[in-house]
């Protein structure tokens, strides 16, 4: 996975289907950007580890690549908050962040990890059978990300309808 120029910083983006149209490898004068998009991705997923961020950062080919990255952006959460109460999703995120900071201490600096707030979703689920309940859970999760970001020194990123990533 290491195709970068020696002077480039490696940047990793992990996301669900919201990022499926972003190329898997991008090169700029300063960055080598690797993206991994997996439809249905959740922070933790005991029923299907292949759809789990924790599995990606501990067991996959990405785990060794993370040793070389300068920053990581997670665009994940919709699938988690559609199926679990926001406080439980935040607990999963605590677990993941503790692992990341222990295993990859170079990410422990302020804003080395970025987490996008969850996109609004109009697709009810068994856990949240109507749009109002689902929207409330998403809003609660996004609100809970802010104090968590202060505790773990990551950057929460607000959703923008025309998400444009620029790396110069």
pLDDT value at residue 10: 94
* Cβ partners under 8 Å of residue 81, min gap 6: 89, 118, 121, 134, 137, 138, 141
pTM across the whole model: 0.89
**Mean pLDDT to the nearest integer, 29-49:** 93
Number of helices and strands in the chain (H, E): 5, 6
What is the Cα–Cα distance from 26 to 12, expressed in whole angstroms? 10
Residue 116 has pLDDT above 50, yes or no: yes
Statement: residue 80 has pLDDT above 50: yes
The domain over range 9-157 is classified in CATH as 3.40.50.1110: yes
């Amino acid at each position: 996975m290491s195709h970068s120029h020696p002077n480039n910083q490696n940047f990793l983006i992990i996301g669900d289907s919201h990022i499926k149209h972003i190329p898997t490898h991008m090169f700029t004068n300063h960055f080598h950007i690797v993206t991994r998009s997996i439809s249905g991705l959740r922070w933790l997923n005991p029923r299907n580890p292949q759809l789990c961020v924790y599995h990606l950062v501990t067991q996959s080919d990405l785990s060794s690549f993370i040793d070389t990255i300068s920053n990581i952006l997670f665009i994940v959460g919709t699938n988690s908050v559609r199926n679990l109460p926001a406080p439980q999703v935040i607990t999963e995120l605590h677990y993941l962040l503790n692992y990341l900071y222990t295993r990859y201490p170079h990410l422990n600096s302020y804003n080395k990890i970025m987490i996008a707030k969850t996109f609004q979703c109009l697709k009810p689920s068994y856990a949240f059978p109507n749009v109002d309940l689902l929207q409330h859970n998403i809003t609660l999760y996004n609100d809970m990300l802010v104090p968590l970001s202060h505790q773990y020194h990551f950057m929460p990123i607000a959703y923008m309808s025309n998400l444009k990533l620029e790396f110069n």
